[in-house]
Amino acid sequence: MNMRKGFTLIELLAVIVILAIIALIAIPQVLNLIRDSKEKSLLISEKNYIRAVEEALYAKNIDEEFNPSICTIESDGNLLCIQNSKIENLKVEVNGTRPCGGAIALNSLEVTDETISFACDSPSFAKDDWLTIIANIRLGKDVYKVGEEKEIVLSGEEFNNQSFTVRIANISNNEAEGCGGENFSETACGFVVEFVDIITNHVMNSADSVNLRGTNDGGWPKSELYDYVNDIIYNTLPNKLKTGIIDTKVISSHGLGDTSNFESIDKLYLLSAHEVWENGSIENLVPSDSAWDNTRQLDYYKEQGVTADLGKYASAIKKYNGNGTSWWLRTARLAKEDFLTVLSWGGPFVQYHSTNSFGVAPAFRIG
């Protein structure tokens, strides 16, 4: 009689263990092959599209001087450029996969940088590349919202590639509140981005043999911190972001040693008292700020209901190393030698001398 002998439980367990070991070895290899294949396919598609863009540009036969621009990639794969009247809508013929979004920087009819997406999600300030963000803003696309945040890495010895968070502080360009006016600051008009928290501490002005507590003579534009912000800090920003930061007309207040407000053209700037708070019954800020009426409250702080009233300060808090810390405003205190600051709990304080080292949290505009 023939008898069939089956596997014992131990033998079955041994087979299962062996198969599991093989799977542990094989699955990562297979996943890596799939990932590499997708990356190679994406790279080929990007190169094909870039060549197609260059061919479309040359086919336009533009014979006048070309102005550099950033063009957004529409869902049909064509480019939409608005900064050069000769290229308003560029049709791109490409074999293979067409991108569904992103942006390309053009200069002298050549593609100088690209951010191409072949698997498009909804626009996201947090996820979109800076070129895509800049292109969407310049095209007037209402795809980002006040309060949205994004991580940014600052380079150089000063920050050593540290990551910080920025947020959209303003989108509106409210003419009824003064935006566009001849003597109105642009600092709270249009697309404004600010650092959520303090990125470093710095004095506003150093002491000298005459002014041991420092001075606010010359206001924000003549301060040591102005040079530090617009030179050192600006140069640590990502290069792609800097292509979209626009010159901003900044009107700032004057102090004891001056008689009129100041106007400067800045890349980066500090906020003013009115851009953070609306005036309140607890703290009357208007008599301390000669430029109060030359700007408006930023959309973010307006939506948060920030006023100079006790208990309505919280949204103005900025942290340094995890703790709420006082931070500088560009507002020179009227008839005094101080600059205004935001206290660690978000409230206003008007008696700090410029030699104090307080938090720095700049803002800038994209357009």
pLDDT digits (tens, 9 = 90+) for 78-103: 998 877 777 878 889 888 788 888 89
In a domain, 26, yes or no: no
Which of the listed residues 108, 138, 168 is the one where a domain comes to its end?
138
Q: Specify the pairing of strand 149-154 against strand 348-352.
A: unpaired
Is the domain of 278 the same as that of 165?
yes
Query: 204-260: per-residue pLDDT in tens?
Result: 999 875 777 889 999 999 999 999 999 999 999 999 999 999 999 999 999 999 999
Is the domain of 176 the same as that of 210?
yes
Distance CA 186, CA 172 (A): 11
| pLDDT higher at 94 or 343 | 343
In a domain, 224, yes or no: yes
Is the domain of 133 the same as that of 153?
no
Does the pLDDT of residue 33 top 70, yes or no?
A: no
Is the domain of 229 the same as that of 359?
yes
In a domain, 5, yes or no: no
Which pLDDT score is estimated for 345?
94
In a domain, 197, yes or no: yes
Distance CA 150, CA 338 (A): 33
Query: 45-63: per-residue pLDDT in tens?
Result: 888 899 899 888 888 776 6
pTM, whole model, 2 decimals?
0.82
In a domain, 32, yes or no: no
Is the domain of 264 the same as that of 195?
yes
Which pLDDT score is estimated for 119?
77
Please give the sequence-ordered ranges of beta strands (E in DSSP) within the chain, or none if there are none: 69-73, 79-80, 89-90, 101-107, 110-117, 149-154, 162-170, 191-195, 200-203, 248-252, 262-266, 319-320, 323-324, 327-332, 339-342, 348-352, 357-360, 363-366
Is the domain of 221 the same as that of 179?
yes
Domain that holds residue 203: 149-366
Which pLDDT score is estimated for 269?
98
Is the domain of 224 the same as that of 314?
yes
Is the domain of 108 the same as that of 156?
no
Of the spans 9-13, 118-122, 321-325, which averages the highest pLDDT?
321-325
Is the domain of 96 the same as that of 218?
no
Mean pLDDT of the chain: 89
Which of the listed residues 109, 138, 167 is the one where a domain comes to its end?
138
In a domain, 143, yes or no: no
Does the pLDDT of residue 307 top 70, yes or no?
A: yes
Is the domain of 163 the same as that of 222?
yes
Distance CA 267, CA 250 (A): 10
Mean pLDDT, residues 340-346: 95
Confidence of residue 40 (pLDDT cuts 50, 70, 90): confident
Does the pLDDT of residue 34 top 60, yes or no?
A: no
Q: Are 295 and 301 in contact (CB under 8 A)?
A: no
Is the domain of 156 the same as that of 53?
no
Distance CA 306, CA 276 (A): 7
Of the spans 25-34, 123-132, 189-198, 201-210, which averages the highest pLDDT?
189-198
Q: Specify the pairing of strand 262-266 against strand 248-252.
A: antiparallel
In a domain, 44, yes or no: yes
Q: How many domains does the chain divide into?
A: 2
Is the domain of 238 the same as that of 279?
yes
Which pLDDT score is estimated for 43?
79
Q: Are 134 and 105 in contact (CB under 8 A)?
A: no
Distance CA 76, CA 82 (A): 17
Does the pLDDT of residue 30 top 70, yes or no?
A: no
Confidence of residue 36 (pLDDT cuts 50, 70, 90): low
Least confident of 111-120, 128-137, 211-220, 298-307: 111-120
Confidence of residue 359 (pLDDT cuts 50, 70, 90): very high
